[in-house]
Amino acid sequence: MGVLRPERMTKVGILGWKDDQARILTVLHDLRLAQVEPLSPEALAELAPERGTEMQRTIGDEALRFRGLKSALPAVPVGAPRRFDTLDDILAAAKTVPVDAEVGDLTRENDRLLSEQQATDETIALLEKLSFYSDRLDLLSGESFLTFFAEGDPESIAQLRTAIPASADAQLLVDPAGGRCLVSLRRNAADALARTAQVGGVHLTSLPPNLKGTARDELENLRRRREEVLRRRVAIAERLGAIARDWYPLIAAIDEALQIENRKVEILAKLGAGRSTFALEAWVPSRDVPRLESVVQSAANGRAYFYSVPTDEEPPTLMSNPQGVRRFEFFIRFYSLPQADEWDPTLVFAIAFPLFFGLMLGDWGYGLTILLICIWMIAGFPGAQHLPKFGRDFVKRIVGPQGMRQLAYALIPGCVLAIGLGVYYDEFFGYPLFLHLFGYHTTFDPLGPSEVGLLLLFAGFVGLGMVTLGFVFGLLKEYFHHHRRGVVGKFGGIVFAWGLAFFGLCVLHAKTLGVLTAGGDSITNPTFDLALVGVVAGLALMILGEGVQTGMMSLIEVLSHILSYTRLVGILLASVVLALVINTIAGGLFGGGAAAVAVAVVILLIGQSFNVILGVFEPGIQGARLIFVEYFSKFYTGNGRPFRPFGAARTHTVSSVNPDGASATPILQSPPG
């Protein structure tokens, strides 16, 4: 399990006999430890690329067949997984499934009936609106004219009547209730009518053909036909259910087995082949290399040659943090995946982000509200269907359901910290609730001048610590990559940051050039001198390590990044002041009549809801920004290549690897082809 670093990766090669190829690929698939790569040029110089066979086409055709069968049948409980020892066993089992023709006929008939049902429903809905027309429907169609049903507000219908050109010879039958009419006109004027209706906001619908009787008669016929269609579709569903009970477990197992064979076929293009041998190369987590070698040798009966591949290629990245920290990998992937040879910043993010979020929120009313929302998100948004559609669509545009859950998990620690700070500050939606209920009086006022100064000082030291930590990681990265000047530049950044911080403190406390003794002599202030030396030495080291231009730019960057952390206090104070303003305005209205109280309640609900939304977005966005920009910029490159191992989990078939990771009883599976 990696902490602060992605998993170390090793590139390995496997050289084996073609007779063992299928077994080796099967255990590689089931272990899901190896990202198979195209064979290196050095290996291809000795081997030819693996070529496809006719058997691979058979596998693809059968996989397509069973994927269609599985999707056509309703899912039923499958029971115990099935074992297929060879590819021939899979294909033999596939031949025993005789339901293709019947399932295909039933599915096509059901699709046709569904289309008919939908068209019938639309026609019924249209005819129900034609109650104002009592004549035969076949009188509305002819060789030289068309009839449309128009629907809109009464004003739009009236405007449509006057906007139709006279050359169209249009005839309108308007519903006395208003908002609907039938429009009959020449066929060559249909396009002009459509344009006119679109401009006027009128919806046009062409009348279905082959309607002979009155609307009432046709409605009876259509409703009767709809009932027949529904009965037939129910019968089809019952028959498909009966077929599924008999065949779905086997079909699901064969489908899964064929999908695995298909995946094995897809990576054959990355392999090399001799007359009777094959070779593959793959990236594997270094910790899993011995296990992989053991399982491969067991599957090949000890006949495979397993070796490390020396390479200068950039390995893929596999982050492997502890369970609690792993929740925050979502943010790192959202920003950029680390490269395999640089620091994994997830652990620091998992500590710093909740701290920043809680500090900027600092109210136990807001913290508790957001905590409950997070729990609701993790539970799967129960009751979300009752929320306004606009709100649901807005949230979906920001991030998907899975991303929302990951965000909720990440916000919970920050909400707990915000609740704790809010209790200490006695801030409940900006209101001192404990003071009025229990007489509790906190000694800390977030808006007090001395407290604001203390908070700013604390935020400055947090910024200094984060910037220093970023430089430390950057220094170590440069050291491990043997960039000596980079090490000097990063160390200079640390010295400059601390010298600048204490220089600023000395200036703020008027301890700059020196102090006077009782005898009137002036002596130097050692803190100021040390800070000044740090500023000059740090700047010199940055210029020496990174060059004049980059070093001078780093000077401004370090100062701005440290000061940027004062936004921790700024956002906290903005939230407190906004809540105070909302409560003050609403509180002034509670002394009035019923109307004033109602207005006060509306102000409280809307204002505090707005502040809750700000309490999610501002601390969340700004907290992440302080890490992504001010911290990452000192060491983080990103743009890593994700580790995508070959394989997938089995559900309906038996794995070739035991739960302990060892190879199961050797599977006598012949290679494809």
Spatial CA neighbour of 174 closest among 162, 186, 192, 188: 162
Q: What is the pLDDT of residue 2?
A: 61
Residue 199 falls inside a structural domain: yes
Query: To which residue do tokens 């129900």 refer?
Result: 128
Residue 261 falls inside a structural domain: no
Question: Which tokens go with 311?
Answer: 């390479």
Helices 484-508 and 526-546, packing angle to 10 deg: 150
Residue 663 falls inside a structural domain: no
Query: To which residue do tokens 């006027």 refer?
Result: 200
> Both 222 and 330 in a single domain?
no
10-residue averages of pLDDT along the chain (673 residues): 83 92 91 92 78 80 94 92 89 94 95 94 90 86 85 85 82 86 88 86 85 88 94 96 95 95 89 89 95 91 91 92 89 92 93 94 92 89 69 61 83 94 88 81 73 87 94 92 90 91 76 46 64 87 85 83 91 90 86 83 91 90 92 91 93 77 47 36
- Residue 172 is which amino acid? L
Residues 6+ apart with CB under 8 A from 410: 327, 328, 330, 331, 353, 354
Cα 553 from Cα 209, distance rounded (Å): 76
For strand 145-151 and strand 203-206, is the pairing parallel, antiparallel, or unpaired? antiparallel
Spatial CA neighbour of 650 closest among 30, 135, 169: 30
Spatial CA neighbour of 411 closest among 446, 382, 368: 368
Cα 122 from Cα 90, distance rounded (Å): 46
Q: Rounded to a whole number, what is the largest CA-CA distance in the chain?
A: 120
Q: What is the DSSP letter of 315?
A: P
Cα 286 from Cα 270, distance rounded (Å): 22
Spatial CA neighbour of 419 closest among 374, 387, 386: 374
Query: To which residue do tokens 């991030």 refer?
Result: 399
Query: Across-strand partners of 277?
Result: 17
- Residue 660 is which amino acid? D
Structural domain span for residue 436: 323-445+571-634
Cα 107 from Cα 118, distance rounded (Å): 16
Residues 6+ apart with CB under 8 A from 487: 475, 478, 479, 545
Residue 212 falls inside a structural domain: yes
Residue 335 falls inside a structural domain: yes
Cα 600 from Cα 416, distance rounded (Å): 30
Residues 6+ apart with CB under 8 A from 91: 58, 62
CB-CB contact of 131 with 176 (8 Å): no
Q: What is the pLDDT of residue 242?
A: 96
Q: What is the pLDDT of residue 462?
A: 93
> Both 578 and 440 in a single domain?
yes
Cα 608 from Cα 434, distance rounded (Å): 19
Residue 552 falls inside a structural domain: no
Q: What is the pLDDT of residue 664?
A: 59
Q: How many CB atoms within 10 Å of residue 394? A: 10
Residues 6+ apart with CB under 8 A from 126: 149, 205, 207, 208
Task: Please count the structural domains in the chain.
Answer: 2
Cα 273 from Cα 279, distance rounded (Å): 6
CB-CB contact of 86 with 668 (8 Å): yes
CB-CB contact of 393 with 330 (8 Å): no
In angstroms, how far is the first alpha carbon of the chain from the final one? 40
Cα 1 from Cα 425, distance rounded (Å): 40
Q: 102-142: per-residue pLDDT in tens?
A: 999 999 999 999 999 999 999 999 898 888 888 888 888 78
Give the three-class secondary structure for 35: strand
Q: What is the DSSP letter of 663?
A: B
Residue 160 falls inside a structural domain: yes
* CA Rg value for the chain: 37
CB-CB contact of 339 with 617 (8 Å): no
- Residue 27 is which amino acid? V
Instruction: State pTM to two decimals.
Output: 0.77
Q: What is the pLDDT of residue 138?
A: 84
Residue environment code for 267-305, b if the CB has 16+ CB neighbours within 10 A, otherwise e: bbebbbbeeebbbbbbbbbeebbebbbebbbbbbeeebe
Query: To which residue do tokens 């160390």 refer?
Result: 491
Give the DSSP H or E segment for 393. Answer: helix 389-398
Domain termination residue (choose one: 182, 205, 228): 228
- Residue 180 is which amino acid? R
Give the DSSP H or E segment for 575. Answer: helix 567-589
Residue 426 falls inside a structural domain: yes
Q: What is the pLDDT of residue 500?
A: 86
Question: Residue 148 is part of a domain; what is its CATH number?
Answer: 3.30.70.2750
Cα 230 from Cα 118, distance rounded (Å): 11
